[in-house]
Amino acid sequence: MSSKIIVLMGAPGAGKGTQARLIQERLGLPQISTGDMLRALAAEAEDIHTTQASGKLISDDVVIEMVRQRTAAGDCRDGYALDGFPRTIVQAEMLDRLAESQHETLKAILIDVPPAVLEKRLTGRRNCPIGNETYNIYFKPPRVDNVCDVHGVPLVQRADDRVDRVQVRLDTYASQTAPVLDYYKQSDRLEIINGDQEAEKIYSELERILTNG
Ligand code: AMP
């Protein structure tokens, strides 16, 4: 595998987190999810909580510093998979400088999903508050309504997965993050995978792209 920094791109709900988890399990590269890291910080930082729940972006400075610190950890020595970063051109430029200082090359992979599918994936998503289990009321419901199959506890919905917030997130993606795709395309570092198929199929395409350089 030649590119050691894997950048998973795609709109909210495209399945970046699922693929990053598979990469971590099967290729041993740590998943770095800025959304998860910020949700953990939000418990103590009211301003992060408010911005995140609204569907808008946290400031570049905060996110960039978080990524810089996290990727300096020993487990990132052989590379890592980014999920949810970069989301702006400024972040993408910073990541290029970071990659250079870490002597790593970077490949961006877009998981491409039509907007109508994204909306159902997001508004239907429910999570287990204990484990990593995720469900979807439309596509992958739990055996018992709103209860985790594994832990038997009531499922929760992310504040930003509510219908009104989902629209803000999709608009934010179109205005601020879509330009990042062009940034990678222009430097010939973007691969595109059809994301409207099963997670395992997406993963096998992803692994093929990564192993072929
Ligand atoms: P996610 O879990 O990736 O959908 O991220 C959820 C929310 O966290 C986003 O809507 C933003 O408010 C915030 N967030 C995550 N990653 C970033 C980033 N790279 N830059 C700015 N805000 C972010």
| Distance (Å) from CA 165 to ligand 1 centroid | 13
Stated pTM of the model: 0.91
**Which run of H or of E encompasses 187?**
none
Q: Kindly state the tokens that stand for 12.
A: 């909210």
Residue 16 annotated in active site: yes
Residue 56 annotated in active site: no
Q: What are 73-98's pLDDT values in tens digits? A: 999 999 999 999 999 999 999 999 99
**Which run of H or of E encompasses 109?**
strand 106-112
Residue that has been written with the tokens 């997001």 in this structure: 122
Q: What are 120-162's pLDDT values in tens digits? A: 999 999 999 999 899 999 999 999 999 999 999 999 999 999 9
Catalytic one of 121, 125, 126, 165: 125
Residue 140 annotated in active site: no
Index of the ligand 1 atom closest to the CA of residue 169: 10
Residue that has been written with the tokens 């199929």 in this structure: 201
Atom 1 in ligand 1: which residue has the minimum CA distance? 35
Alpha-carbon gap, residue 56 to 168, rounded angstroms: 7
